[in-house]
Structure 1
Amino acid sequence: MVDSCDVIVVGAGVVGATTAYELARRGARVAVLDRAPDVGGGCSYANAGVIAASHVGPLATPALVAEGAHQVFTNPPAVRVNPQPSLVPWMARLMSSARSRRVSIATARLQELAHRSAAQHRAYADAGLSDTYRETGALEIYVTDEGPAGAISDEEAHRLVPALGQVRSAYWQIDEAVVESRSYVRSMLTAAGNAGAEVRFGTPVERVVVDAGRVRGVQVGGELVTAENVVLATGLDTPALAGAAGLRIPLRGGRGYVIDLDADNAPTIPVRFKERRMVVSPMPGRLRVCGLMEFGAEGRPLDQRRADAMVQVVTDALPGVRINGVLDTWAGERPCAADGVPVIGASSAAPGVTVAAGHGMWGLVLAPVTAEMVATGLLEGAPTLHDPLLTPNRFGGVRGHVAA
């Protein structure tokens, strides 16, 4: 294993893999370290795979807060909070971040980044780096509520998705695409390797090593791997690793569910169930059902009743789909920051530490632009790692931190 490099990327999910590629293709000596045994051990595998730039925004909004009470009476509830004392400060900050002016600013910035990122996804596909990418568009449906103005006709909706049942209103979103996320990660890591990066799975990073106020590398198996820069793209492992560098990153897991179905007559485009905050998307050999957001459930077993209720939603809304069986069911934590916005930027507590985490459900969509921000910031001196909205410094430092 390499004992010295320019940049260590910790985490080989969608964000880490893309970041490694963008760094390596610019000439940096890169090592990618991940504790998982292979590609796609977490959220980077289990997501809808829909590149929907127009839907990207902060997690907490006034509409979501208002919707919370209504969701108690739906089955399954799209958003659920399991009360636990440790969640209270995090949830309080999330709710306080739902102020209209802040949400407006955050939405505009994230929309800008998301559309740049969607364009980069297309560019990767054009370059042969993302062979499951397909520009499909998507159908949005309201089953019980009337949606906003601009609905397409029932005839047009059923032409797009013949399996569709009766709905109140439907909307065509032309600018969406689908990519199978595990193949995307593998392609990015292969491209990074071809550009000179070293990729190591089964390699847990024990801590970030800081000396004299600057990062020196990471500790792996009791040994120091030196680097001038360390990028933390490690999802919910980020707070612990960042804490060793004196940086506080308050992330919690927003649990989402993914069910892969063996189905006939399945839609060939994504279908989004707006009231339920669910989406079905066509994947090679399967129909994927994704959705829900549950806080305070980290480490709990999968709730089979919630998974079954999601399948029932699909059955009711798409009666023309014949479900032959369930291929896979997954529940896992999407890393969400306490103010509902991704954490992308350089640490002032420990120069040389960069964070690229907390993307929530938008990791796949925002991976290319995140990678570009990190690469140009570290290698070209661009100001991309000092965005006040995204900076990891916005949460303050860790009290009592002692550099090693």
Structure 2
Amino acid sequence: MGSAANAPRTAVVVGAGVVGLSTAWFLQERGVDVTVVDRRGVASGASWGNAGYLAPAFSVPLPEPEVLRYGLRSLFDPAAPLYVPRTPDPGLWAFLARFARNCTRGRWQRSMRALAEINADALDAFDELDKGGVSAPTHTAPVVAAFDDAAQAGGLRAEFDRTRRSGQETRLGEATTSDVPQLSSKVTTVLKIEDQRHVDPGEYTRSLAKAVEERGGRVHSDFTARDVRREGGRLVVESEQGERFSADAVVLATGAWLPQLAAKVGVQRQVRAGRGYSFTVPTDEPVPCPVYLPTVRVACTPYQGALRVAGTMEFRAPDAELDRRRIEAIVRSARPFLRGVDWDRRHDDWVGPRPVTTDGLPLIGASALPGVHVAGGHGMWGLTLGPITGRLLSDQIVTGERVGALRPFDPLR
């Protein structure tokens, strides 16, 4: 337990993605002087090229029976939405084995109950950032899910029924292809998931960094942290080049690179890079809202007057080069569902690593080294859950009291 008397006055946040910057901002709200460091710079990882969904309705545990069945069928297919390369990586296979053990309905339901509690406040945390000076807009719009077979929509309806039984209410309605000009004649059934939002993720993350700096925080690029340790009464974060920052508290928010530092502070939970791909294409007409294609697992979002298209889950090293076959696979799978899209003028091809855990739950809370905290492992939902993570974790750091909603996400579980 802690008190205001021994609350940290200074903190170093390692990681300048949306999770780390949100934590920095909310720490500032509580009077903490913050320094943020990053191996490259602001929004240099998954916070730049993701689909930009702020969609708590879709924030669900990744391990589930359907994913396991699908994965076993498509495991080594480079064109499949889920892909594992044929490489001798014992660590990856151990991770996948643990992931598979969590693909049961009972474990999914328990994990969903934990996520439902923080999903409920996820958009409120964005509103707090907006009121506090983060200038990049969030756009309220439904997410439209499009199917080429009416029977396929039953799977998504069933998932929302399961999330409802876990305490997460979702407003689900019917729509038509005329609601979204980009939907082709192949689409026969359209569902509308209300009360969601979307953003330009790179713009939003940069705006969040600017807000942190305007409030007196410092953001340093090209700082690859190699060690975190206690020296006397202070915590020290040291880079590969020997540069050092010290503080009363440290937050590790390094996404898919989390294991490199987390293991030094007693966190043994595995995190692997589930890499996603995206690109941007011009459209003949404005895109009114995000479009999800569940059968091919592709997410599309209005983006800078065009359409950002994102998909795949590829288990490779976080810094591995972009695989053009994965981009082409997304194009082939999405093309039949969409019209008025200029696929030949595709640009901004991108790959980024999402931090995936074996049980589908993030790691948020204290490590085994007093004063060092972890904020990572959010999988595909780091953007949606980044601000609520920062708000809850900053409360826990400053008060020294464990926040109830974070108990299921204990990094030492």
TM-score, with normalisation over the residues of structure 1? 0.88
* Cα deviation 1:103-137 (Å, max 9, x = unaligned): 11111211221221122223433555242311011
Deviation at 1:181, TM superposition (A): 1.1
Deviation at 1:94, TM superposition (A): 0.9
Alignment pair present for 1:217 and 2:220: no
* Cα deviation 1:199-245 (Å, max 9, x = unaligned): 11222223102358x86221244254221211000112221112223
Distance change in 2, residues 1:75/1:229 (3 Å) = closer
- For residues 247 and 64 of structure 1, the distance between their equivalents in structure 2, rounded to whole angstroms, comes to 26
Alignment pair present for 1:351 and 2:359: no
Number of aligned residue pairs: give it.
Answer: 386
* Cα deviation 1:31-77 (Å, max 9, x = unaligned): 111121x3221101010001110111112011211222454698831
* Cα deviation 1:303-334 (Å, max 9, x = unaligned): 22221221233321112334450121112221
Task: Compute the RMSD of aligned alpha carbons.
Answer: 2.5
Q: Unpaired runs of 5+ in structure 2?
A: 1-7, 159-171
Give the match for residue 285 of structure 1.
305
Give the match for residue 152 of structure 2.
146
Distance change in 2, residues 1:127/1:352 (3 Å) = closer
Q: 1:201 aligns with which of 218, 221, 226?
A: 221
Deviation at 1:273, TM superposition (A): 0.3
- For residues 33 and 77 of structure 1, the distance between their equivalents in structure 2, rounded to whole angstroms, comes to 36
1:124-273, aligned counterparts within 5 Å? 124-125=129-130, 128-144=133-149, 146-148=152-154, 156-165=175-184, 166-211=186-231, 216-220=235-239, 221-273=241-293
Task: Pick which of 270-279 and 112-121 moved more.
Answer: 112-121
Alignment pair present for 1:111 and 2:116: yes
Answer 1 or 2: which has greater helix percent: 2
Deviation at 1:297, TM superposition (A): 5.4
Q: Which amino acid aligns with 2:123?
A: A
Q: Which amino acid aligns with 1:40?
A: A
Q: Which amino acid aligns with 2:254?
A: T
- For residues 124 and 13 of structure 1, the distance between their equivalents in structure 2, rounded to whole angstroms, comes to 15
Give the match for residue 33 of structure 1.
37
- For residues 63 and 74 of structure 1, the distance between their equivalents in structure 2, rounded to whole angstroms, comes to 17
Q: Unpaired runs of 5+ in structure 1?
A: 395-404
- For residues 406 and 182 of structure 2, the distance between their equivalents in structure 1, rounded to whole angstroms, comes to 45
Q: Which amino acid aligns with 1:91?
A: L
Give the match for residue 53 of structure 2.
50
TM-score, with normalisation over the residues of structure 2? 0.86
Task: Pick which of 274-283 and 236-245 moved more.
Answer: 236-245
2:257 and 2:318 in contact (8 A); partners too: no
Alignment pair present for 1:67 and 2:70: yes
- For residues 74 and 92 of structure 1, the distance between their equivalents in structure 2, rounded to whole angstroms, comes to 19
2:252 and 2:373 in contact (8 A); partners too: yes
- For residues 288 and 16 of structure 2, the distance between their equivalents in structure 1, rounded to whole angstroms, comes to 29
1:215 and 1:230 in contact (8 A); partners too: no
1:5 and 1:31 in contact (8 A); partners too: no
- For residues 208 and 100 of structure 2, the distance between their equivalents in structure 1, rounded to whole angstroms, comes to 36
Give the match for residue 163 of structure 2.
none
Question: % of aligned pairs identical?
Answer: 32
